[in-house]
Structure 1
Amino acid sequence: MKKIKNAKSQDSKKIEKELGEFLNKKFGGNVKIITPSVLPHQESISGKSPSKGKKGLINFNIKPQELIAYLDQYVVKQAKAKSVLSTKICTHFNRIRHSQTTGEGMSKITGNIKSNILMFGPTGIGKTYLIKLIAKKIGVPFVKADATKFSETGYVGGDVEDLIRDLVKEANDDIELAQCGIVYIDEIDKIAASPNVIGAQVSRTGVQRALLKPMEETDVDLKVPHDPVSMMQELESYQRTGKRSKRSVNTANILFIVSGAFSELSNVIRRRLSKQNIGFGSKLVKSQKEDEVLKQTKAEDLVKFGFESEFIGRLPIRCVLETLDQEDLYSILKMPNNPVILSKRLDFNAYGIKIVFTDDALKILANRAYKENTGARGLVSVIEEALLDFEEKLPSQDFLKFTVTKEVLEDPKGHLEDILSKQNSLKWNNLYEKAFLDHKAYISNYIKDNWKTFSIRYGLTLSQIRCNMVALYFCNNVMEIEDAVKKIKQVHDSIKEIEVEVSKSYNLNIVFEEDAIDFLIEQFTNHNATIKEILSKIYDSYYDGFNLIREKTGKNRFFLSKTALIDHETYLNDLIRKEIT
């Protein structure tokens, strides 16, 4: 290996030979070198050329309240956590943008402090979901890992650095973009050193120390020591350029977010509070709820819990997520974008079956999940258990619609037999239609209540009619609300393009009025109409009449309403009579 490391003056064939011998000893002939000279020129061993970067996140301009409004569409409760995460994350990335745009700011401050975040909350409460949503919204590379992975492999620190390398992969080899990514580490409480326990402590404290430098600022070499792929990449680069290149990632702007359940931390806090509150004026600490106790966490509590003070010092922002009660679980199921119901709709839709849930059914599922005591994760378990037989049997019976009611959940076997017998098909069809209309009305009201957010974000005026259109499209297709709004916006823009196309092709200036646009949107979404069909229809129905008016009067601007589209003959006759006679 020393010969390989000092091979700068040796020719490439000798390097290949020595590296090949090493790989043969290390991996028993399972790894071989393919000389790059016989391959097409490429920038990396994977065949992907590294992108040149975008100078980081210069275009980032999301404000905290905008990010909170986005999270409100997906996450129930957790107002404080949404506020803390949105504010600090937006501030972090806007500071990066400001620094890169002006060339001043963080890079000029000695000892700059990052807003790394520590999240507290029991399992199934939505910690990971929140961070994934934020990363998706702001469009930065995001990697997630469990702290237990590090404790199993000791405190070498290689695994910690692998997180940074994974960021580069997520950024498609764009190092500048990766340097503005998010690293999320869950189950961080598992690397706390337990008091009075001998054995695993060295590993746990070692992992904490391995995280110290990346959480603040350090350079992480992208080349992995003793990794054959990294060696081959370096060899290939050396043969192509004759130089040894060093690629590294600086972690100064990488945001670290860590979370854990911290189930035993409340006991540490209670002991501290009990000592402080001795006497007649003391408060009953034991009567406080778990999340209320965690909100009183201090650095000394975390140190007593088993974290080193240097590690806690690099996590200046703390937020506690609230526990979920039965009503919260019901609200999650009612939320249009909740992945639990959307996933189950997708499962049945894969067999061509449309499924809808009644309100009473959702309440029963929420009640069962609450008894599981695993937070929102319990929702998935109870729904899978309740509908497994239906998911097995219905696809083989050519059913197209299925309604989950309170009665279905209370007596699944009896109702499954009733459905399969097809003796009460009309009853089940009526149940579906009613449940579908109720769900559509709920979604329409939801869009109406949030019309301002959607209208500003997508530049689409959302009248009541369009709210209904979005709701109908959402209910008929498995997608998130935003995607349904995007679809209607896309169709709206296509209709405006028809006006431009008519002007280009026929030299006629037509303008669709709002009710006509709404009518055409319905044709596109409900009847799968195409632009070509609409253009053809306009030419066949209106060209001769409009051309006649243009020749006689010189008028070349015509407004089309919904009525004009439905009954073009009456519209043209009235227009010709008005303009010519």
Structure 2
Amino acid sequence: MSEYNEKIPDPKELEKELGDFLAKKFGGSVKLATPIVMPQAASSDEGEPPPKARQTINFDLKPKDLVSYLDQYIVKQTAAKDTLATKICTHFNRIKHLQSAPDDFIDMVGIIKNNVLMLGPTGVGKTYMVRLIAKKIGVPFVKGDATKFSETGYVGGDVEDLVRDLVKEADGDIQLAQYGIIYIDEIDKIASSHNLIGADVSRTGVQRALLKPMEETDVDLKVPHDPVSMLQEIDRFRKTGKKEKSSINTKHILFIMSGAFSGIDKIISKRIADQKIGFGATLSDPSKDGDILSKLKSEDLVEFGFESEFVGRLPVRTIFERLTELDLRDILENPNNPIILGKKLDFAAYGIDIKFQADTLAELARRAYDENTGARGLVSAVESALLPFEKTLPSTTITRFAATRQVIDRPQESLDELLERPGDASFRQTFDRLAEEECQRIVEYVTANRKTFGEKYGIQLTASRIELAAKAYCSLVTDIEKVLKKIKTYYEETKTIELYFIKNHGINIVLEEEAIDHIIEQCFRDRGKPEDYYRRLTADFEHGLKLVREKTGRTRFFITREALEKPDSFIAGLLRQASDDHLPLSPNPDKLLKG
């Protein structure tokens, strides 16, 4: 820490330094005008200021809940999901537990943070998984690149800037920022070089700069050598007449590091081979062990080029598996994957609805696998296959596009056919078939995860409601989780219609589940809200049900889907039943509308 961080400059010194800076920069054309600061009146309360209330976090997520959430978005990586979900949930639940404990037990010495080191090839979902976790937990999240640190040698200030960025992500809320997550990618790039004679000062310096923030230190939010920071300090002093020391403690900030660690498998293999030398040893070729990274030890990381103190601050380690061609296809078929959703959004921006054939997704996965860049290859495979259509179709009248296997195998030929016969019935039939196939895939996906989704959103996922969710997903450009959230919201709002009806009309209606689904379906179709449907319900049923009430004295009615679709016939049936002198009324009047 430099001498600047040990002492907060006096405001007058700040003004002088700024004046000198402006004079050198702009000559005499720009000067700093400082208004007189009137000291604030002393408080009448001579006692000690009241102690600040202890800040606590609201966190109750369990590891299994977080794993279930990640399963919706990430294919494979079971061990990594289990490790990250468990240790991150434990990290935040432990903070919550300590904060609820008596003051005497809070400051425990020697507690080690669950900082995480993730190892795995590029494009397997490391960054994506951390972003999903930060979003789910709702804490500030900052991503940094270790390669940028290594360019400038001793970069303690740059490392601390990551902590300051957490405050910016938290909109200036320091208390919230101190529970954030800092993610540093390509951390393997700051390992010292193996073939360098002498100390690799630059990379070793970056590692040492990270040591204190990864454990616990106070990071000053004001940067003394930054003119903007100095101006902010002067402005604050003008308003309050006081000098404030603003800092953030990194005790509860979780650090997650990741990297491909190319070549560390050789270090592990050599260690294992050396250990097997001797009488009775079983000789094998460690390089053929597909699970070699799972045998990683701290000494391997030190041999790779990390300081032992740095390795010790990353107690949690998890390995990401290399993705197979089948894994890449599963990613594309996942209804929450951002690659296909993003491409749908690209075409939707021009008013074009695109549907993908299953064989198309399989072929795109094969092409991506050949690039050997993991899931990143999927993006380039999709983009290169569809770019000619994304360029040309927006200038036509085509609004529905079927991305079949033929389309990506023979793009120019397929594009010419579309342009020559844009209204051809065969194109429309193909699109409708792909739309049905997509809808069926979503039905199967939600059905397979029915229990998880049902518990998560607190709704009963019947077969008809699952089909409703699938239709809504296929008509919108969004992930299935947002669709289910919307169904839950619509469901709760629809139930309030019953309260409105009895309050405004004195008639107790009970909407059957299938009737609620009908209203939700209408809301998705018309982009409306259940409260809009209430007006229609009043127009269709108010007078008829009041007439039935006058004839029968009944005030409670069950409304079915059929009743919503044919209200006139429904009311007429009720009136016929009420006026029939020969047939007794239903023995169960509450079920009258079902008859």
Q: TM-score, normalised by structure 2?
A: 0.89
| 1:282 equivalenced with 2:283 (yes/no) | yes
Residue 542 of structure 1 deviates from its aligned partner by 2.0
1:530–1:247 Cα change, 3 Å: closer
1:212–1:442 Cα change, 3 Å: same
Distance 1:560 1:105 in 2: 60
Distance 1:400 1:347 in 2: 13
- Corresponding residue of 2:123: 124
- Corresponding residue of 2:168: 169
2:106 alignment partner, SS class: helix
1:511 alignment partner, SS class: strand
Residue 579 of structure 1 deviates from its aligned partner by 4.7
What is the root-mean-square deviation in Å for CA atoms of aligned residues? Answer: 2.5
Task: Name the aligned partner's letter for residue 409 of structure 1.
Answer: I
| 1:108 equivalenced with 2:107 (yes/no) | yes
Task: Name the aligned partner's letter for residue 202 of structure 2.
Answer: S
Q: Could you list the per-position Cα deviations for residues 91-110 of structure 1 after superposition, in whole angstroms to 9, with x for gaps in the alignment?
A: 00001111122346973321
1:295 alignment partner, SS class: helix
- Corresponding residue of 1:62: 61
Q: Could you list the per-position Cα deviations for residues 374-411 of structure 1 after superposition, in whole angstroms to 9, with x for gaps in the alignment?
A: 01000111111111111111110121111111111111
- Corresponding residue of 1:457: 456
Distance 2:370 2:128 in 1: 22
Task: Name the aligned partner's letter for residue 286 of structure 2.
Answer: V
Bigger drift between 21-30 and 516-525 goes to 21-30
Task: Name the aligned partner's letter for residue 281 of structure 1.
Answer: T
Residue 231 of structure 1 deviates from its aligned partner by 0.5
Alignment of 1:95-494 (within 5 A): 95-103=94-102, 107-198=106-197, 201-278=200-277, 281-289=282-290, 292-422=291-421, 425-494=424-493
1:29–1:485 Cα change, 3 Å: farther
Distance 1:272 1:6 in 2: 51
Distance 2:85 2:77 in 1: 12
Q: Could you list the per-position Cα deviations for residues 503-561 of structure 1 after superposition, in whole angstroms to 9, with x for gaps in the alignment?
A: 22222221111111112122221244554653333333322232233344443222111
Distance 2:358 2:404 in 1: 8
1:256 alignment partner, SS class: strand
- Corresponding residue of 1:21: 20
Alignment of 1:497-536 (within 5 A): 497-528=496-527, 531=530, 533-536=532-535
Bigger drift between 562-571 and 59-68 goes to 562-571
Distance 2:130 2:29 in 1: 40
- Corresponding residue of 1:88: 87
- Corresponding residue of 2:593: none
Distance 1:325 1:36 in 2: 67
Distance 2:139 2:30 in 1: 34
1:367–1:9 Cα change, 3 Å: closer
1:530–1:174 Cα change, 3 Å: closer
Distance 1:54 1:548 in 2: 61
Residue 132 of structure 1 deviates from its aligned partner by 0.5
Q: Could you list the per-position Cα deviations for residues 196-220 of structure 1 after superposition, in whole angstroms to 9, with x for gaps in the alignment?
A: 3158810100000000000011100
Distance 2:504 2:336 in 1: 42
Distance 2:53 2:239 in 1: 26
1:377–1:58 Cα change, 3 Å: same
Q: TM-score, normalised by structure 1?
A: 0.91
1:31–1:97 Cα change, 3 Å: farther
Distance 1:189 1:483 in 2: 36
**What is the number of equivalent residue pairs in this alignment?**
560
Q: Decide whether the 8 Å contact of 1:553 with 1:580 is kept in 2.
A: no
1:31–1:182 Cα change, 3 Å: farther
Residue 23 of structure 1 deviates from its aligned partner by 3.6
Task: Name the aligned partner's letter for residue 365 of structure 1.
Answer: L
Distance 1:30 1:465 in 2: 74
Residue 6 of structure 1 deviates from its aligned partner by 8.3
Q: Could you list the per-position Cα deviations for residues 94-147 of structure 1 after superposition, in whole angstroms to 9, with x for gaps in the alignment?
A: 011111223469733211110111110011111101100100011111100111
Q: Could you list the per-position Cα deviations for residues 27-85 of structure 1 after superposition, in whole angstroms to 9, with x for gaps in the alignment?
A: 779997576899xxxxxxxxxxxxxx996553211100110011011111100000000
Bigger drift between 181-190 and 424-433 goes to 424-433
In structure 2, the gaps of 5 or more residues are 38-51, 581-595
Distance 2:65 2:147 in 1: 34
1:108 alignment partner, SS class: coil
Distance 1:84 1:107 in 2: 26
Task: Name the aligned partner's letter for residue 534 of structure 2.
Answer: L
- Corresponding residue of 2:42: none
1:118 alignment partner, SS class: strand
Q: Decide whether the 8 Å contact of 2:120 with 2:322 is kept in 1.
A: yes
Task: Name the aligned partner's letter for residue 369 of structure 1.
Answer: A
Residue 448 of structure 1 deviates from its aligned partner by 1.4
Bigger drift between 523-532 and 170-179 goes to 523-532
1:328–1:498 Cα change, 3 Å: same
Q: Decide whether the 8 Å contact of 1:106 with 1:112 is kept in 2.
A: no
Distance 2:53 2:482 in 1: 27
| 1:544 equivalenced with 2:543 (yes/no) | yes
Distance 2:339 2:53 in 1: 36
Task: Name the aligned partner's letter for residue 401 of structure 1.
Answer: R
Q: Decide whether the 8 Å contact of 1:215 with 1:256 is kept in 2.
A: yes
Distance 1:118 1:32 in 2: 50
Residue 19 of structure 1 deviates from its aligned partner by 2.4
Q: Decide whether the 8 Å contact of 1:54 with 1:176 is kept in 2.
A: no
Q: Decide whether the 8 Å contact of 1:56 with 1:180 is kept in 2.
A: no
Distance 2:378 2:31 in 1: 49
Q: Decide whether the 8 Å contact of 1:508 with 1:556 is kept in 2.
A: yes
Q: Decide whether the 8 Å contact of 2:114 with 2:314 is kept in 1.
A: yes
Q: Decide whether the 8 Å contact of 2:497 with 2:531 is kept in 1.
A: no
Distance 2:305 2:374 in 1: 26
1:24–1:441 Cα change, 3 Å: farther
Task: Name the aligned partner's letter for residue 385 of structure 2.
Answer: A
Residue 422 of structure 1 deviates from its aligned partner by 1.0
Q: Could you list the per-position Cα deviations for residues 445-474 of structure 1 after superposition, in whole angstroms to 9, with x for gaps in the alignment?
A: 111111222222222221111111111111
